[in-house]
Amino acid sequence: MALPRTLSVIGAGQMGVGIALVASLRAQIPKVLLYDRDPAQITKGLAFMDKLLQKDVSKGKISEEQAKAAKERIISVSHSSATGESGWARELGERGTDMVVEAASERLSIKENIFQALTQNLSKDAVLASNTSSISITKLAGAAVDGLGASVSRASEEGKACAGRVVGVHFFNPVPVMKLCEVIPGLQTSDATLERARAFAVACGKEVTTSKDVPGFVSNALLMPFLNEAIMCLESGTATRDDIDKTLRLGMGHPMGPLQLADFIGLDTCLAIQETLYDGTRDSKYRPSVLLGRMVDAGWLGKKSGKGFYDY
């Protein structure tokens, strides 16, 4: 199965940077374009990548040359280098993008706008993948068709072909370390797109599982209620932060406690996933804890902002 020659990663947060790195270092995609609407995120992301590559070199996992080649394959694209509202998408198209992995913030409206801009600017055969943790791939595929304009219906042949190239590729955090990629077909995803997504994940060094397009997919439909229960335990004073995390670490053998894990994922991302689970199922068991909402209101987003349940 052919791998992309030019991969574009949208969003240079903790996931986008990790995906760009494994695509370059492991899958050896010749060109990996990294775009974020916030140029500071790209600068921060590239510096973090350097640190990870140097760590691999010092441990003898890769050579200096491999690290240098991996770095050279990654090209940053920022708002300042692209003009107009969709200038970034035009630039990704002009540079020959044949696969995208969208890893922007977990908000439906953000992702819908991105997918619309992608169909307006990229070649018709480019695979459009999302790293979303919970948002419906079927919905994103619908948004991609809307990008073609009001005259193209979602059920027309053109609409079906466009939606058929949208797929979920859900990597885990930290991407260079975690061995799994969950692949999610939407209702419209073609078999060829699914195979290209799987081949890409395998080339990035991952084992692949497949989940149906349900809110949270398999992974977060199981993980998020667990994290939410831990936050509710803290909220109700059942135990302290340290005792909740210690219980799971030492009693159940988890590598980190649920509150620490929520901090690592990002509390805004956890809240967004829980809201998708709750809205998508209307099942009260998925209601996000009030404390989680308040922490996000306070801007305490976990490790990435320097404060969450722990200080960083």
Ligand X SMILES: NC(=O)c1ccc[n+]([C@@H]2O[C@H](COP(=O)([O-])OP(=O)(O)OC[C@H]3O[C@@H](n4cnc5c(N)ncnc54)[C@H](O)[C@@H]3O)[C@@H](O)[C@H]2O)c1
Tell me the catalytic residues: 133, 170, 182, 220
Asked whether the bond before 174 is cis by omega within 30 degrees of 0, the reply is: yes
Q: Please identify the residue of the shown chain whose CB is closest to the bound ligand X.
A: 13
Q: What's the number of CA atoms in the CB half-sphere (13 Å) around residue 110?
A: 14
The set of residues, in sequence order, having a beta carbon less than 8 Å from that of 244 and lying 6+ positions away, is: 230, 233, 234, 238, 257, 258, 259
Handedness of CA 270, 41, 13, 282 (dihedral sign): positive
Q: How far is the CB of 151 from ligand X (least distance, A)?
A: 26
Is 144 marked within a binding site? Answer: no
Interface with ligand X in residues 165-224 (CB under 6 A): 170-173
Residues 293, 271: Cα–Cα separation, whole Å = 7
Is 205 marked within a binding site? Answer: no
106 binds ligand X (CB under 6 A): yes
Q: Is 160 or 300 the residue whose CB approaches ligand X more closely? A: 300
Exactly one of 6, 14, 78, 211 binds ligand X (CB under 6 A); that residue is 14
Q: How far is the CB of 304 from ligand X (least distance, A)?
A: 5
103 binds ligand X (CB under 6 A): yes
Residues 114, 33: Cα–Cα separation, whole Å = 15
Is 15 marked within a binding site? Answer: yes
Select the span of 183-191, 195-203, 229-237, 261-269 touching ligand X (CB under 6 A).
261-269
The set of residues, in sequence order, having a beta carbon less than 8 Å from that of 200 and lying 6+ positions away, is: 3, 4, 7, 23, 27, 99, 127, 129, 169
Exactly one of 3, 15, 74, 184 binds ligand X (CB under 6 A); that residue is 15
Residues 305, 312: Cα–Cα separation, whole Å = 8
Q: What token pair was written down for 80?
A: 């300042």
269 binds ligand X (CB under 6 A): yes
Is 308 marked within a binding site? Answer: no
Interface with ligand X in residues 22-81 (CB under 6 A): 36-38, 41
Is 84 marked within a binding site? Answer: no
110 binds ligand X (CB under 6 A): yes
CA angle, residues 272, 179, 53, in degrees to nearest 5: 95
CA angle, residues 195, 201, 205, in degrees to nearest 5: 135
Interface with ligand X in residues 117-176 (CB under 6 A): 131-133, 170-173
Is 304 marked within a binding site? Answer: yes
| Amino acid residing at 233 | C
Q: Is 159 or 184 the residue whose CB approaches ligand X more closely? A: 184
Q: How far is the CB of 19 from ligand X (least distance, A)?
A: 9
How are beta strands 180-185 and 166-171 bridged, if at all?
antiparallel
Exactly one of 3, 7, 9, 13 binds ligand X (CB under 6 A); that residue is 13
100 binds ligand X (CB under 6 A): no
Name the helix (H) or strand (E) containing 272. helix 267-281
Q: Is 17 or 159 the residue whose CB approaches ligand X more closely? A: 17
Q: Is 69 or 110 the residue whose CB approaches ligand X more closely? A: 110
Is 14 marked within a binding site? Answer: yes
275 binds ligand X (CB under 6 A): no
264-289: string of b/e by CB count within 10 Å (b at 16+)? bbbbbbbbbbbbbbbebeeeeebebb
Helix pair angle (267-281, 258-265), 10° resolution: 100
Q: Which residues are annotated as a binding site?
A: 11-16, 36, 106, 111, 133, 173, 304
Annotated binding site for NAD(+): 11-16, 36, 106, 111, 133, 173, 304
Q: Which residues make up the interface to ligand X (CB under 6 A)?
A: 10-16, 36-38, 41, 103-106, 110, 114, 131-133, 170-173, 265-266, 269, 304
